[in-house]
Every structure is written in structure tokens, then in C-alpha cells.
């Protein structure tokens, strides 16, 4: 293992699912910056936080992740997901600090294709959330030369805030409370463990191979099959009804396929991330532990 070149790594969004994994992995090298200490949409707040932290690397794990709500308040999503990374990119570029920014599979979907997306594919979001994330990517890529912009999919992990949910926790709760869940069976994705992603990203930032990447656990599934796997491993005795996206009737449109081709990252990291079903099994056992 080469010596780490970064010793003061600021983690913006440190209390979220991914931010929490970075704190755990980076230990004494992590400078945790929580929402209470920094408002990412405010340029002054970002500058002050970076001056106080004096980092040699910045990770942006903060985001507005409310996909449906973003349709009603697109300006809020844009402020956090687009102007926030813009503020960080400008502040990092001024100080020649490299920036890792995390983005989403929901920058895709408009072309309704059924094969995985590569970094060279033209994005086309279906909703306000995806649009705000795409704008954030463009700001980082154009304003901060030393950047990693990494798109991922369906994250689940351990956030600091008690009661903060994710798909896995929500399904476990609903399955146990109601004994019956209805889950969409026509959206293909790769659920991704925040712990596995953070580990891969810590390796990626050692490479200095700056650029745009796709990174998820390996393989593909639907939310319905993912739920079947969760219930089987966790021994939840509930029926699962497969429904269509139209039947579910969510406010925001979502990609029918948001699979990400991760070969570019695998080339740099000398391997793919673990399969999604292994990852969720580890996650479920960590919830019990």
C-alpha cells in the first residue's frame, strides 16, 4: 500500500450515509463537516468552512436526495445539488485542492435504452433531481481541474441521524409491520452499499486519475427482486406484489434502466466492486450486529 498523499480530507455531508462511511474509513485523516457547520448553497459558508478546515482534499457527499419532492421545489434541489458543488469547485480550484463529487444514475433515462450507460454516453435526466445533479457535475468538471466526479446508484448505508431511512430499511419496516409490500418490478438498477462505495472511492483518490467515473456494486436487479433478496436474507415473512412504475404512481419520472457500466473505474482500481447481493447480505448482518 503506498503512503497516503492526503492527510486532511474534508468530508462535506459527513453525517449522511456515504459521509459516515468516509469518516469511518479515513479515521484521523477525516475532517467531518456536517450540515450544521456548512450550508453548501451559500458561497460564503463554503469558503469559511474550507478556510477553517484547511484540507488538502475535499469530498462532497452532501446532496438533496428527495427525488419526488424535487419536482415541487426544483429551486431547492438546484441550490444544493448544482450551486453547492459549484461553490465547492470554485473554492477548491482557488486553493488547488482536488475535489471528489458524487453524482447519480438519475442523470440518465431520457433515451429509454436498456443497456448500461458509460461515462461517454450523453446524459438526459427525467426529472428535477437528475437535472440538478447533472448541473452540479458540469460545474465541478468545468471549474475545478483536479476533480473526480463519480456517479452511483441506489445507495444504502448507516447515516448518523437516527431514523433516517433508505430502501432496505424501509422495506424491512413495511414488510414487518404490514406483512405485504408492493414494489416496482420494471426499473433496472444496481443497489450499492455506501460502505463498498466509500472503500472504492478512497482507493480512487490515491490514483490521481482525475475524471468522470461510474461506480456501483456489480450486477443488476429490479427493486422487486432486490426486496425478495432482502426478505429472504432477513427472514421477513411478508408477501411482495410486483407492480409497474405506472401503478406505483410516484410524482417524479424515473429511468426504467439506470445501470451504469463501471469498466472504466474497474480498470483504474484493478477490479470491480463486489456483487450487489453479497453487499446487501453484509449490510443486513451489520444491522443485526
Active site residues: 129
In whole angstroms, the minimum distance from the beta carbon of 39 to ligand NAP comes to 5
Q: How far apart are CA 100 and CA 98, in angstroms?
A: 7
In the complex, minimum distance from the CB of residue 227 to ligand NAP, in angstroms, rounded to a whole number: 15
Reading the block at residue 63, the C-alpha cell is: 446532496
Residue numbers at the binding site for ligand NAP (CB under 6 A): 13, 15-19, 35, 38-41, 61-65, 80, 102, 104-105, 133, 152-155, 159, 161, 194
Backbone dihedral angles phi then psi of residue 99, each to the nearest 5 degrees: -130, 130
Least gap, CB of 37 to ligand NAP (angstroms): 8
From CA 243, how far away is CA 13, in angstroms rounded? Answer: 34
- Rounded CA gap, 53 and 152, in Å? 27
Q: What is the C-alpha to C-alpha distance for residues 187 and 52, in angstroms, rounded to an integer? A: 43
> Between 216 and 235, whose beta carbon lies closer to ligand NAP?
216
Nearest residue to ligand NAP by CB is: 16
Q: In this complex, which beta carbon is closest to ligand NAP, that of residue 104 or of residue 187?
A: 104
Q: How far is the CB of 260 from ligand NAP (least distance, A)?
A: 10
**Minimum Å distance from CB 79 to ligand NAP?**
7
Q: How many other CB atoms sit within 10 Å of the CB of residue 237?
A: 8
Smallest separation (angstroms) from ligand NAP to the CB of 113: 19
What are the backbone dihedrals phi and psi of residue 16, each rounded to the nearest 5 degrees, phi first? -75, -175
Amino acid at each position: 500500500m503506498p503512503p497516503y498523499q492526503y492527510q486532511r480530507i474534508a468530508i462535506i455531508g459527513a453525517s449522511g450515509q456515504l459521509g459516515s462511511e468516509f469518516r469511518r474509513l479515513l479515521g484521523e485523516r477525516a475532517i467531518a463537516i456536517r450540515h450544521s457547520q456548512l450550508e453548501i448553497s451559500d458561497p460564503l459558508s463554503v469558503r469559511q468552512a474550507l478556510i477553517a478546515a484547511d484540507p488538502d482534499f475535499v469530498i462532497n457527499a452532501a446532496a438533496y436526495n428527495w427525488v419526488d419532492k424535487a419536482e415541487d421545489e426544483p429551486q431547492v434541489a438546484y441550490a444544493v445539488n448544482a450551486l453547492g458543488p459549484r461553490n465547492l469547485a470554485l473554492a477548491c480550484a482557488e486553493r488547488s485542492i482536488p475535489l471528489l463529487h458524487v453524482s447519480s444514475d438519475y442523470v440518465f433515462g431520457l433515451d429509454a435504452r436498456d443497456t448500461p450507460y458509460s461515462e461517454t454516453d450523453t446524459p438526459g435526466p427525467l426529472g428535477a433531481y437528475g437535472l440538478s445533479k447533472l448541473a452540479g457535475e458540469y460545474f465541478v468538471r468545468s471549474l475545478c481541474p483536479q476533480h473526480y466526479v463519480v456517479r452511483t446508484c441506489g445507495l444504502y448505508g448507516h447515516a448518523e441521524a437516527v431514523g433516517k431511512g433508505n430502501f432496505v430499511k424501509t422495506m424491512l419496516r413495511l414488510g414487518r409491520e404490514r406483512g405485504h409490500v408492493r414494489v416496482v418490478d420494471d426499473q433496472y438498477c444496481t443497489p450499492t452499499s455506501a460502505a463498498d462505495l466509500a472503500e472504492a472511492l478512497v482507493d480512487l483518490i490515491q490514483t490521481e486519475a482525475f475524471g468522470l467515473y461510474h461506480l456501483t456494486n456489480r450486477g443488476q436487479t429490479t427493486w422487486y427482486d432486490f426486496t425478495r433478496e432482502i426478505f429472504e436474507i432477513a427472514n421477513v415473512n411478508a408477501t411482495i406484489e410486483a407492480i409497474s412504475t405506472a401503478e406505483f404512481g410516484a410524482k417524479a419520472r424515473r429511468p426504467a434502466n439506470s445501470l451504469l457500466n463501471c469498466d472504466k473505474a474497474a480498470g483504474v482500481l484493478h477490479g470491480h466492486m463486489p456483487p450487489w447481493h453479497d453487499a446487501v447480505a453484509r449490510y443486513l448482518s451489520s444491522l443485526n450486529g
